[in-house]
Amino acid sequence: MKIFIDSADINEIREAAMMGVIDGCTTNPSLLAKAGRKIETAIPEICSVVDGPVSAEVVSVEYEGIVEEGRRLAKIHKNVVVKVPLIAEGLKAVRTFTQEGIKTNVTLCFSASQALLAAKAGATYISPFIGRIDDTSHEGMELIEDIVLIYDNYGFETQVLTASIRSPYHVVQAARAGSHCGTMPFSVIKQLLKHPLTDVGLAQFLADHKKALEKAK
Ligand code: E4P
């Protein structure tokens, strides 16, 4: 499964990229606001650090505005993927972007029926928000399983980009379900790496190495 960082914070994006574990990046208006960045300057900077798809979200909700904004964002860098909300006007714009060869990430997906329509419109990626579904006392991961099954059944090329990931277990579940990609905060990427037995084992090796050096004196 491809791992995307869900962030607009260039420092953490750079750190994750240096670890060699990220395949792309997703941003949204809330993440840009949190990082205190404007989309016009943040996206080129992220594209200079991340060698892979970088999602930049439109804020228009009418077809003409979405298309105008999306074309402008797509011109920033070849890796820009235009992120479009899952509404009727958004799907019209996705159809246009697809015809123009502009990649799209259809966001705010909360049902399999929405995901089916996004794929029919030609979305490059679909972003189902599993954490936000969990927040409503439903099993978000069931949506990932349903979408993967439906896309497989009909050979849709749209990639499932599991979003709103909150924990390492979400990542493992998404990978088990066959999600093509998962986008997660840097904190989750760092949690994926951690295991207490690694730390205990490393401390033991270093202590034994020190002892061996002392003995050899
Ligand atoms: C990414 O594309 C989404 O915008 C993001 O994963 C949403 O995550 P949140 O539910 O934690 O805000």
Tens of pLDDT, residue by residue over 135-177, are 999 999 999 999 999 999 999 999 999 999 999 999 999 999 9
Known active-site residue 103: no
Q: Is the pLDDT of residue 79 over 90?
A: yes
- Give, in words, the CATH class of 2-216: alpha beta
**Region 56-73: what's the mean pLDDT?**
98
Residue 184 confidence (pLDDT): 98
pLDDT band of 202, cuts 50, 70, 90? very high
**Residue with CA at minimum distance from ligand 1 atom 10:** 164
pTM: 0.95
**Region 62-89: what's the mean pLDDT?**
98
Tens of pLDDT, residue by residue over 100-127, are 999 999 999 999 999 999 999 999 999 9
> Who contacts 133 (Cβ-Cβ below 8 Å, separation ≥6)?
110, 139, 140, 143, 164
> Who contacts 150 (Cβ-Cβ below 8 Å, separation ≥6)?
112, 115, 116, 156
Residue 73 confidence (pLDDT): 98
Identify the residue whose tokens are 């990626």.
125
CA dihedral 40, 43, 44, 50 (to 10 degrees): 180
Tell how far the Cα of 86 is from the centroid of ligand 1, in angstroms: 14
Tell how far the Cα of 7 is from the centroid of ligand 1, in angstroms: 9
Domain residue ranges in the chain: 2-216
Residue 119 confidence (pLDDT): 98
pLDDT band of 217, cuts 50, 70, 90? confident
Residue 210 confidence (pLDDT): 97
